[in-house]
Amino acid sequence: MSDDQLKKAVLDAVDALTPRLVQSVSDAVRIPSVNPKYPGQDYDRLVGAESDVSALVADLYREAGAETEMVTAERRRDNACGRIRGTGGGRTLVLNGHVDVVPALQPDLWTGPTFSGQITDDAVLGRGATDMKGGTVAAAYAALALAKADVRLRGDLILQAVVGEEVGDHEAGTSAVLDAGYGGDAVLVCEPTNATDGPPHLSTSAPGLLWFSLTLKGRTAHVGWRGRTIHPTLDGAALGVNTIDKYWVIYQALRDLENMWAERDRHPLFAPGHFCIMPGVLNANPKGIDVPFFLADTLTVDYCVLHHPDRSNGEVRAEIEETVRQACRRDVWLRENEPEFDWKLDWPAYTTPSGHGLEASVSSAHAEILGGVEVGAGPTKSGMFGVCDITWTAAQGIDGVIYGPGVGKTAHAEDEYVPIHQLVTAVKTYALTALDYCGVAESAESADAPQ
């Protein structure tokens, strides 16, 4: 069978499987697999749903001919793993996706049930459709299409559907399955890569992420004495200090640093201003009571930081701490009462090594599906808008790229959905990528050759 015939057989198989693909994505979305360790959630109520999605995906792995195993590092949180063994002499490709999702907050703002899995003429709706059950299921269907087309690869194809990604819990998810032997020469992480509903982008870079909190202390007093605490000729801090006022000193310093990043930390794959220092949670009050009749003497603010991929987390952390220290030196109270830092999450950035073979394979496959290589229809390259598990595969020496279906602007937002055309494009791209990267066994290549 010629290369063109082989590819046509695979693509025809994807087309034939498309109704099932859409239904499988819907079935997966309907399982409310909220990460049980997500802050503010009830672990005991939620644990186990991730395993239900993994079981669904594992059935697809088996149908595709994979040796399938549940790898469980934490009870009732199963990772589905599959290995389709090659005939030998080829490279091993890992397709990685996660089964956990973030909570569906404020359901009254959704136009339908949050985990509906509703299928429309052009999309599947519900929490997790984009982030990232669409990509996880698409990877399984790529393997199934290869099986339906009777393709034997030279290298192994490894399939991973893991838990824990949404909170960086890679020890229970991606790192656990790698430790169990489900690694390879390269990884294709199937996260959503386009902010809109156009074809998937190719991402070769992801920002670093830090989560930290700052805690400030003040001195409470009756609201009637506020004027005497803030007027420069009166009592000042000896009478009272409102932590909310003092926070704005620090807020503005970090906001100025964020603005400087937008000018200084440019990257060709990210829009100016993408790298950010975002205050996301703010709690301030008079200690032990939530009324505005006292000066607030406690304040805690949580920040999420996304930074330039070429910078280390340690470098960025030091810059943020020094920025806060400098701001405090300019304030009489804060100079003697610096806020306390609590660094909660450290997620390093990632960049695909230059010239990595998987990048070329994905680009060629995408181009062939959407117009042909000769017209230059390769995927748009952009930076990953958030972080993903490619950080943890790289930590174990497995580099790769990020490419997957989904509308990034709906991730973690209301009315999340995944377009069906993106699902189909992703499945076809994954399948043709495997042909190119892993290589095709001689029996498949020569089955129709003249005798």
Instruction: Compute the chain's Rg from CA coordinates.
Output: 25
3-state SS assignment for residue 123: strand
Place of tokens 């959503």: 192
d(CA 30, CA 110): 15
Buried b (16+ CB within 10 A) or exposed e, 369-394: bbeeeeeeebbebbbbbbbbbbbbbb
Query: Across the strands, what pairs with 123?
Result: 419
What is the DSSP-derived secondary structure letter of residue 330? T
Alpha helices in 68-180, H assignment, sequence order = 134-148, 174-179
Cβ atoms within 10 Å, residue 39: 11
d(CA 15, CA 37): 38
3-state SS assignment for residue 165: helix
Active site residue: 74, 131, 156, 166, which one? Answer: 166
**Cα separations in angstroms, 328 against 246, 248, 268, 324, 448:** 9, 11, 35, 6, 76
> Which run of H or E residues covers position 347?
strand 340-347
Active site residue: 78, 100, 338, 399, which one? Answer: 100
What is the bridge-based pairing of β-strands 157-162 and 93-98?
A: parallel
| DSSP for 367-434, written as a single string | HHHTT-GGGT-PPPB---SS--THHHHHHTT--EEE---SBGGGTTSTT-EEEHHHHHHHHHHHHHHH
| Structure tokens, 437 | 């990267």
* CA angle (54 as vertex; 166, 157 as ends), nearest 5: 95
Give yes or no: 338 in active site. no
What is the DSSP-derived secondary structure letter of residue 346? E
Residues shown for the chain = 451
Give yes or no: 166 in active site. yes
Exposure of 116 by Cβ count < 10 A (0-12 exposed, 13-18 middle, 19+ buried)? middle
Active site amino acids: 100, 166
